[in-house]
Structure 1
């Protein structure tokens, strides 16, 4: 019963240093608690990492520096997106990743754009804004291009993801799936280029 209660108490402990200290104070005397408390803290490094404790002699005999916890906190994750210099990336983004991120970016842009259009419509100033844009080719052409490109790209990108999620076409074992690298690259290039052509034609109208 004691171990059962201890387990319930451990499950209620939150991921914080203060909670870990309290748990160690009340449960640290039991072998069960000593075995479990080493994981308290979630993704953070335990305070006693590498130090002598009830279940290990520590790693001082290996030459572990006294500030090893600070060094661990500064260690970059692997694989990390950003290099340790903070300026470049470890890996080059494939075109499939770029097209997928762009699909989300266009969704955010459309949400902001339509929200703004709705606001100006409620204030009654939308017609005058549209007339001004239509009368200026310098402003109207790029604006129409961006709107049509975002709409068409987001639609095509969403359609591709819908097909990926709901239909099984081909087989990975036979190398003819829609998720094969070469197929993903081809579809990514298509949904990046096709909206540009559509947007250019519509912007000229």
Structure 2
């Protein structure tokens, strides 16, 4: 079975979200692809802040307990912030879904290799207190059902994706101040 492209995986994820879900996407191509696929006021695009999507998402989950917070991270970004992984369990956060789109590269900064292929993120996150941890490798049906039916609890999904990318995906065209203000407004809605 061949791997998804990152864009294909994001399309599946975004198609299975609830209107109430808050999405935090890491800097670079992941934010660009989320913006391209399904722009919404409940998306926060982490422009220029590599490695901080999980920390930001955790803070959002702490103050928005009635909404599911989904962090779309890359393996490079995740590796820059491994110190965040034990915090959700420690803080008693259960509305947090951390998704890693793992292509083995720091693709947004020049495609340098990461060490993700030598790590078991499923084992790491389970040891850090995540109740559910999954590995997806190219099964569209499995990914759709997982996103649709994943339990409302502290969860992690590592999706192995190909290194292929669509260079025609436009940059996020919304000013950072606007992203912040409209996301804040959306978070305060019941």
TM-score normalised over the length of structure 2: 0.22
Question: Which one has more relative contact order, counting CA pairs under 8 Å at least 6 apart?
Answer: 2
TM-score normalised over the length of structure 1: 0.21
Q: Which structure has more strand as a fraction of its residues?
A: 2
